[in-house]
Each structure stands twice: as C-alpha cells, then as structure tokens.
Amino acid sequence: MFSSDNFRFTSHQAYLVAKDFGAMPAYDFALRHPNRTCGVMCLGIPFLHGGSSFTAMPEGFYILRWREPGRAEADFGRYDVKRVVRTIYILFSRSEIPTAKEDQEIMDLADLSTPLPEWFTEEDLAVYTSLYEKSGFVYPLQMPYRSLHKRQPIEDPKFEVPVFVVMGEKDYVIKFPGVEAVLKNGTMEKFAPDLKITYIPEGSHFVQEQFPDKVNELLLGFLKDHPVA
C-alpha cells in the first residue's frame, strides 16, 4: 500500500502516465485491466478507436517514410547522432506535420542554421545524443513506426477509470486525420465518460519538456481530484 497526504492506492493498482505513442499501450492497459488501473493520463495523443488512418497523407509524411525498412536508417546514416536528434527536436516542435517532398528525406527539412527550440538547450541535446549513441535508432523505429499494424483492437471499448489528456495547442498531431474531431466533437467522451482534456497555449509536441512545471501541476491536480478510496 502506498500512501501520502494526497494519494492512496494499493500496490495492485496504478495511475498510468504516458506520452505520444506510449499512450496507446496505456489506453489499452486501462481498458483491458480496469481493476489494476486508477486512471490514465496521456500527453499528446487522444484515444483513437481504430487508430488514425494515414492513407490520405502524402508520401513524404514522416511516419510513412519511417515505416519503410531501411529508409530512415539510410537517411539518419548521412549524419552523426547529434545532428539527427537535433533535427528531430526542431521538426517535432513545430506546428506543421513533418513532411518531405519527393526529392527530399526527412532529415533535409532542417539544417544546422535552423535554431533549436528556445526551451531545448545545447546541454539537453548533448544528453540525448549520448543516450542515442549507446542505443542507436533501431528500436525507436521498430516501436512504434513499424509495429502499429500489430496493435490488436478492443471491441466496444469503454473506460471504467478517469482519463486525462493534455495537448499542446500547437502540437502538429492535432492535424493528423481524425484527431481534432475526436478531441473537440465529443467522440472521445463516448469511450471515456469521465474525461478531461486540457490544452496548453503555445504547447508543442514536446509540451512536457517545454512547460514541465505546468504539466506537472496539471497531472498532480488530476490526481488530487481523483483520490482512491
């Protein structure tokens, strides 16, 4: 049993906190194991029953490109790890979906003259670079880009626990097919009756790094509002 002044729950239950593609297993776990879940909090990705279809997206859409075996490896391999991480942070911090032209690769969408986001320092970049120099990019490309098709849908999903979604207002994911509609037309509420959605002005896809204090405040507030008996 864990207890504090604000929270109390058994060792058999947990609040789930997830970001980006990590939201998918978090949502799935909460749906499949509500007795093990106190609530689920996700950053940047709402619950999309059936997923988001990318069939209408252009060929240069980064997810379609990175699904292709060897495509991203060849693209990344033209540069050192620091340059790759730098470019990804620049592209994913924008409000536009990273999409290359026919004669481009994703890494061509930013160069060394493109400044880092103001909240992401050279020291931050050095830390992430050192981590990816050890791990490489094989697993991040395999999970999730080349494994999305393996996700097993849940028939007639209905959340039995509170769900909290935090979105940056300038997160490019909002422009994915179906995402804005799910967030704003009440679709997600059909699956999550106890739902809260909060938007952070100026927030990007990396909203938890851009505004860490605000995100922590929101998550802790959600926990305080949903105590476990």
> 3-class SS at 163?
strand
Please report which residue ranges of the chain form alpha helices under DSSP H: 23-32, 62-67, 71-76, 81-92, 122-135, 138-140, 179-184, 187-191, 207-210, 212-225
Mean pLDDT of the chain: 92
Q: Tens digits of per-residue pLDDT, 16-34?
A: 999 999 999 999 999 999 9
What's the confidence (pLDDT) of residue 3? Answer: 39
Question: Above 50 in pLDDT, residue 227?
Answer: yes
Q: Tens digits of per-residue pLDDT, 91-106?
A: 999 999 999 999 999 9
The DSSP result for 96-144, as a single string, is S--B--TT--GGGG--TTSPPPTTS-HHHHHHHHHHHHHH-SHHHIIII
DSSP 156: S
CA 51 to chain centre: 14
What's the confidence (pLDDT) of residue 179? Answer: 93
Taking the C-alpha atoms of residue 124 and residue 49, their distance in angstroms, rounded to an integer, is 35
Question: What is the maximum alpha-carbon separation in the chain?
Answer: 58
> 3-class SS at 41?
strand
Length of the chain: 229
Decide: 79 and 105 in contact? Cβ < 8 Å: no
Spans of all domains in the chain: 14-50+156-225, 62-149
Model confidence band, residue 229 (pLDDT cutoffs 50, 70, 90): low
Q: What is the pTM of this model?
A: 0.90
According to DSSP, the residues that pair with 2 across neighbouring strands are: 9
With 0-12 / 13-18 / 19 or more C-beta atoms within 10 angstroms meaning exposed / middle / buried, residue 182 is buried
Q: Please give the share of the chain, as a percent, with pLDDT higher than 90.
A: 83
Question: Above 70 in pLDDT, residue 88?
Answer: yes
For the domain covering 14-50+156-225, report its CATH number: 3.40.50.1820
Q: Tens digits of per-residue pLDDT, 194-211?
A: 999 999 999 999 999 999
Model confidence band, residue 7 (pLDDT cutoffs 50, 70, 90): very low
Closest CA to 31 of 51, 47, 11: 47
